[in-house]
């Protein structure tokens, strides 16, 4: 799957940044490698350390992992809808409200790691099934026009962004 062209996504601060963070490795390979990277990073994190926040008001490691899972689910739904030709605008979401409502801090880290694995494995199968025609389809999510291909790249870029934050601010 090739990288999306600039006309396939909005040139916003977040979307552009996530897509531009990705190298030349095919996105499905990147997503598969990230799965193992997340699992390895969090397998070495004990339950006590998973509650760590690098600053007041910031998410704990558990909450950050939960945010990554929530965001991937939402973005995968968007990719599916767009790939299937959905014409209705897809809503945005408030990541902070979702994180607060989810209660991730009260869940065992092992459960969150398992959930991340299952979500990512399912999405790898889904995204691998998309044809070029499906990837080229354009839709509207959170008020912006984008292709199914762009959404998949956003997922990988979003996770890369948070893996960097985890290394720099939580595990350093």
CA atoms within 13 A on the CB side of 121: 8
Q: What homologous superfamily is domain 6-170 in, according to CATH?
A: dinb family like domain (1.20.120.450)
- Would the CA dihedral through 123, 129, 132, 135 be positive or negative? negative
Q: What is the pTM of this model?
A: 0.95
CA distances from 126 to 13, 54, 83, 156 (A): 27, 35, 10, 15
- Report d(CA 117, CA 41) in Å as an integer: 13
Q: Could you give the dihedral angle defined by the CA atoms of residues 105, 58, 52 and 107, in that order, rounded to the nearest 10 degrees?
A: 10
Q: What is the model's pLDDT at position 11?
A: 85
- Over the chain (172 residues), the average pLDDT of each successive run of 10 is 93 87 94 97 92 95 97 98 97 95 95 98 98 98 96 98 96 83
The residues spanned by each domain of the chain are 6-170
* pLDDT at res. 171: 87
Per-residue pLDDT at 13: 79
Q: What is the number of other CB atoms lying within 10 angstroms of the CB of residue 82?
A: 27
């Amino acid at each position: 799957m090739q990288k999306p062209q600039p006309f396939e996504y909005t040139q916003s601060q977040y979307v552009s940044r996530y897509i531009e963070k990705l190298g030349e490795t095919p996105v499905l390979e990147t997503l598969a490698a990230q799965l193992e990277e997340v699992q390895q990073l969090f397998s070495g994190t004990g339950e006590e350390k998973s509650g760590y926040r690098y600053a007041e008001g910031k998410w704990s490691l558990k909450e950050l992992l939960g945010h990554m899972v929530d965001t991937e689910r939402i973005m995968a739904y968007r990719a599916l809808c767009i790939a299937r030709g959905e014409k209705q605008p897809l809503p945005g979401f408030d990541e902070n409200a979702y994180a607060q409502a989810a209660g991730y801090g009260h869940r065992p880290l092992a459960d969150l790691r398992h959930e991340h694995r299952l979500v990512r494995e399912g999405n790898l199968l889904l995204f691998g099934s998309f044809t070029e025609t499906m990837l080229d389809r354009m839709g509207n999510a959170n008020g912006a026009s984008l292709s199914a291909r762009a959404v998949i790249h956003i997922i990988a870029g979003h996770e890369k962004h948070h893996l960097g934050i985890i290394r720099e601010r939580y595990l350093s």
